[in-house]
Amino acid sequence: MDTRIIKFVVAALSLFYTIWLYVDGYWGKGIFMTLVSTVLVLVCFRSTRLMVVFYYMQRQNMEKAKQWLQKINPEKIWAKQKGYYYFLTATTDIQNQSMANSEKNLRAALSHGLRMDHDKAAVYLNLSVLAANKRKKREAMMHLNEAKKYDTKGYLKKDIKEVQRMLNSI
C-alpha cells in the first residue's frame, strides 16, 4: 500500500478531531491539535526520507545519506520531488567516483524538474565538470553558460569561476 494514502488518512482524521475539539469547546487541546494537524498535512506533501537525506548531506555525512537514498522508491514520491531525488543520488554518486551514473542522474533531475534556479545551476555546473573530465570542451562550456544563466543570486559564483579556469586550461 502506498504510504502517501496512509499519510492523508491520518492527516484527515487529525483535522476532523481538531474541528471536533473546537466545536466541543476544548480550546487548549484544539490549539495543540491544530499544530499537530499542520505538521501532518505538511508531511503529506513532502517525502520524509528525502528530508532526512537533505539533513545528512548538509552535515556532510554521505554514507548515511546514501543509505537513506537507497530506502527511497522513486516511483512512490511526488513528481515534483523526483528531480531532487535524482539530484541527490547524482551528488552521492559523484562522491563515490561513479561518473557515468551521476551524469545519468543529473540529466534525469533536469528532465523531472527542479524548483529552485540555484539547484538547476548546480546541476548544470556538475554536468560541465563531468563533460570537462571527458575532454568535451564545447559541451562543458554550454553547460557552464546554462549554470551562469540560472545562478542569478551568485551562490555558485566562485565555483563557476573555478570551472571556467579549468576549461581554459583544456
Spatial distance between the Cα atoms of 130 and 35, rounded to a whole number of angstroms: 45
- Same domain for 74 and 14, yes or no, is no
pLDDT in tens, 129-147: 999 988 899 999 999 999 9
- Same domain for 148 and 127, yes or no, is yes
Spatial distance between the Cα atoms of 99 and 91, rounded to a whole number of angstroms: 10
Length of the chain, in residues: 170
- Same domain for 91 and 28, yes or no, is no
pLDDT of residue 130: 92
Q: What is the CATH number of the domain that holds 84?
A: 1.25.40.10
118 and 151 Cβ atoms separated by less than 8 Å: yes
Start-to-end CA distance of the chain, whole Å, equals: 52
Question: Which amino acid does the sequence have at 138?
Answer: R
- Same domain for 36 and 62, yes or no, is no
Q: What percent of the chain is predicted at pLDDT more than 70?
A: 99
- Same domain for 10 and 57, yes or no, is no
- Same domain for 53 and 120, yes or no, is yes
- Same domain for 41 and 5, yes or no, is yes
pLDDT in tens, 47-70: 888 889 989 988 988 889 999 999
- Same domain for 83 and 138, yes or no, is yes
How confident is the model over 7-12, as a mean pLDDT? 92
pTM across the whole model: 0.79
Q: How many CB atoms lie within 10 A of CB 84?
A: 22
76 and 3 Cβ atoms separated by less than 8 Å: yes
Structural domain of residue 88, as residue ranges? 48-168
Question: Which amino acid does the sequence have at 112?
Answer: H
Q: What does pLDDT average to over the chain? A: 90
Total number of domains in the chain: 2
- Same domain for 36 and 113, yes or no, is no
For 86-121, letters b (16+ CB in 10 Å) and e give bbbbbbbbbeeeeeeebbebbebbbebebeeebbbb
- Same domain for 125 and 162, yes or no, is yes
- Same domain for 38 and 72, yes or no, is no
pLDDT in tens, 36-50: 999 999 888 778 888
Helix (H) or strand (E) holding 85: helix 79-95
- Same domain for 37 and 65, yes or no, is no
pLDDT of residue 76: 83
